[in-house]
Structure 1
């Protein structure tokens, strides 16, 4: 798919400079460089600033007071114009002010650190469709890697407390010597079509009117194509024939890789697995165009920034080549 890397979190241009991760002294020097950018991450939220409809990341200088709460520093890489990026986990900080309470599906609350005019901690899902490709890639990387450290503090081999290493891209066990690396969970997400229609579904507990493409985790020993056919058959009872890859999207909530595929349905009768789907239906191009335009009272448009919206938009525009 020629437009594959236009998906949110894809193609930002961050140079990860993995060869520098083992050079502790060199990274300390990079961190002290005036061009270095230090991004604070608070309980999965990124420090951002600017207008609500066009937020940008709000990196701080190395000596910023907000970084005094840092329990972990991760080297993210360098931006195209130069200057290293570091992410800092400051989850131990306790905010005093919250702007807007969270809802049941998306935490829209914002936390302000004293003295940082206009900067606030924002949930990435609330801003992902409005930030630049480079900011999106940096934000996704920071959120995912810090989230991995937060849930992998102990050795999976012997149970002892492990330690961050290699600029934050590894954890090592001082007790048994095991090395642990960040994981990414592959998820297939499927644009399943039959003629002029696409298969849409909704999970139990989703907000009213929210539908999306079917998706599911891949299993060990399974190809992408097999996972697409299995998931669609399990969730909706639809048999799928030819499958082809379209695009992928890092999804740092917490650490998935969404693998977008196009599958051609061989059958159309829907048989739901109620544990997986609350509803599913075939939607014509004309109906989906109305949905995207907000003229379908029964279905909301796919969430901007998500690969489901990206795939549906390209299907509507006949750009799946």
Structure 2
């Protein structure tokens, strides 16, 4: 896929999460990703992912989360605050920057690490009885020390949609985005709702445009902080867009404008970054529209 956080994934080796002896054997030569409280990752002197091993860290901290295997090598995520002082970081990089600069495997593992550590940092107590959680399954399970309820990492499904009326593409922008930035429309799935229903509801809520049909294409983990973006294409009525408090603007764009923006040549339109599934959906729509003449 031509977007980030999906290529070269680790073998999550879920069967090893309860095998303490196997995890102990993996730790000395394991690859360790250090993340700070903001979810940024430690870098080496060149801005790349450091070749940090378990041996360099020392004894495996209880907060280390087993991410999986690359070949025979284990990979772990560790909060930087729990690393010993002898393991200094040369700096930290955010996930979006790493997606553009790092090799795919390291960037994909960074996304996985960011999501699970964010969940652990914000899920320290039971939502039912407020007792502290005790971590199990190599960091992937929080078990309540009071009532015994098990808590698992949260992922929030959201649709993201390239909506077309046949010749134009519908894009919207939020007021907090950089000037001229537009993107495909997106929204979270609600309880008891199908993905197709979410597409229709979210597009209409945000733009007033009525979707006739839609089709799923691909997905992207989006740990900002814990989403899974489900990419769709949709055909819609050529309604005049209107916006509510969710978007600052929504409008139809002709294929010519989209083509210029994809080449960074449009004076008034800037698209989503290349790391995102939004950009991939836009580029795919433009390519198919161009090939259709």
With normalisation by structure 1, the TM-score equals 0.84
**Equivalent pairs, count:** 289
Distance in 2 between residues matched to 1:13 and 1:302, nearest whole Å: 23
Alpha-carbon separation, structure 1, partners of 2:213 and 2:106: 36
Q: What is aligned with 2:74?
A: 84
Q: Which structure shows the higher helix fraction?
A: 2
Change (3 A) 1:281 1:68: farther
Matched, 1:136 2:132: no
Distance 1:225 1:115 in 2: 48
Report the alpha carbon displacement of residue 240 of structure 1 after superposing the two structures with TM.
0.2
Q: Normalization by structure 2: what TM-score? A: 0.91
Name the CA shift for 1:114/1:92 in 2 (closer, same or farther; >3 Å): closer
2:111 aligned counterpart, secondary structure? helix
Structure 1 residues 306 and 141 mapped into 2: Cα distance closer, same or farther (>3 Å)?
Answer: same
Aligned to 1:255: 226
1:73 lines up with 2:67 in the alignment: no
Q: Which residue of 2 aligns with 1:10?
A: 6
For structure 1, list consecutive stretches of 5 or more residues without a partner in the other structure.
96-112
Separation of aligned partners in 2, 1:130 and 1:199: 30
Asked if 1 retains the 8 angstrom alpha-carbon contact of 2:63 and 2:82, the reply is: no
Is the Cα–Cα contact under 8 Å of residues 31 and 76 in structure 2 kept in the other structure?
yes
Equivalent in the alignment of 1:58:
50
Structure 1 residue 314: deviation in Å? 1.7
Paired residue secondary structure (1:206):
coil
Query: CA-atom RMSD, angstroms?
Result: 2.4
In structure 2, distance between residues paired with 1:163 and 1:285: 54
> Aligned partners of 2:104 and 2:23: how far apart in 1?
25
Q: 2:32 aligns with which of 20, 23, 38?
A: 38
Give 5+ residue unaligned stretches, structure 2. Answer: none
Change (3 A) 1:268 1:261: same
Q: Is the 8 A contact 1:12 1:136 kept in 2?
A: no
Matched, 1:27 2:19: no
CA distance in 2 between counterparts of 1:243 and 1:212 reads 18
The C-alpha deviation readout for 1:39-85, integer Å capped at 9, x for no partner, is 1111211123475xxx54224121325x7896610000011x33110
Distance 1:69 1:76, change over 3 A: closer
Q: 1:101 corresponds to which residue? A: none
Residue number in structure 1 paired with 2:92 = 121
Please say if residues 162 and 234 of structure 2, whose CA atoms lie closer than 8 Å, have aligned partners that are also in contact. Answer: yes
Q: How does 1:167-246 map to 2 (within 5 A)?
A: 167-246=138-217
What is the CA–CA distance in structure 2 between the aligned matches of 1:305 and 1:140, rounded to whole Å?
Answer: 12
Determine if contact 1:71/1:90 at 8 Å carries over to the other structure. Answer: no
Aligned partners of 1:26 and 1:314: how far apart in 2?
Answer: 44
Query: Does structure 1 residue 284 correspond to structure 2 residue 254?
Result: yes
Paired residues of 1:40 and 1:59 also in contact (CA < 8 A): no
